Amino acid sequence: MAASIGPPEDGASMGRRRCTARRTDGNPCGNRPLKGQSVCKFHGGAAPQSRAAAVRRQVEAEARQVLAELGVSPVGDPLEALLKLAGQVIAWQEATAALVNQLDSIRYQAGSGEQLRAEIVLYERAMDRAVSVLSAIARLNIDERLVQVTERQADALIGALNAALVAAGVDGERAELARRAAARHLRSVD
């Protein structure tokens, strides 16, 4: 294990990461942390809010990467920056489309050929940029991934509720009523 001859991307940096928590005897835990987290599943990594935060950090890291590829340096929340960029790119694309539409009226004027070409090039560039930004956002699958986390949190809550009902010795119709009340509450929170 001394020489690092593994794959250059994952091997070197990911392989050495260890859970940052300490065991009850005071020694470092040493387990592998869960993906996108600094702690293992025994030290809080499996909690729904930890998983949700990990997914969000991962999505944000990927958004930052996409922004870097597009030559934009994000200030603050990279997801917000990405969506703002998409809005700007689409607005610019629409503006250049309007410009190209206006060209109809001058198409037959002598000597307007060069200008017409320049504006169409501008429009095509704006289209390309809009497509690349939007497809980059689509590849991140932001909405779906954040929703999946929320569903996992809801499952975890229902599991916790069931355990609480069992521990309190509540079963049958009363347990069912409690479950339904919890489901109603979760929906209203959502």
**Least CB distance from residue 49 to Zn ion, whole Å?**
17
Q: Figure out which of the listed residues 31, 58, 132, 148 binds Zn ion, where binding follows CB under 5 A.
A: 31
Q: How many CA atoms lie within 13 A of 83 on its CB side?
A: 8
DSSP designation for 39: S
Q: Which span sits near Zn ion by CB under 5 A: 35-43, 83-91, 122-130, 140-148? A: 35-43
Q: Which is nearer to Zn ion, 39 or 182 (CB)?
A: 39
The SS3 of residue 28 is strand
**Using CB under 5 A as the criterion, what x/- string covers residues 1-30 for binding Zn ion?**
------------------x-x-------x-
Nearer to Zn ion among residue 19 and residue 140 (C-beta): 19
- Do 68 and 101 form a contact (C-beta atoms < 8 A)? no
Which CB, 40 or 126, lies closer to Zn ion? 40
Query: What torsion do the CA atoms of 65, 70, 72, 73 make, to the nearest 10 degrees?
Result: 20
- 116 sits near Zn ion (criterion: CB under 5 A): no
- When the beta carbons of 35 and 185 are compared against Zn ion, the nearer one is 35
Shortest distance, position 165 Cβ to Zn ion, whole Å: 30
Residue 8 and residue 34: Cα distance in Å, rounded?
Answer: 20
186 closest CA partner among 162, 164, 160, 158: 158
Q: CA 27, 31, 35 angle in degrees (round to 5)?
A: 135
With CB under 5 A as the rule, give the number of residues binding Zn ion: 6
> Residue 21 Cβ, how far from Zn ion at the closest point, in Å?
4
Is position 66 an interface residue for Zn ion (rule: CB under 5 A)? no
- Closest approach of Zn ion to the CB of residue 24, in Å: 11
Number of alpha helices (DSSP H) and beta strands (DSSP E) in the chain: 6, 0
Question: 47 — phi, psi (to 5°)?
Answer: -60, 140
Q: What is the contact surface with Zn ion in residues (CB under 5 A)?
A: 19, 21, 29, 31, 40, 43
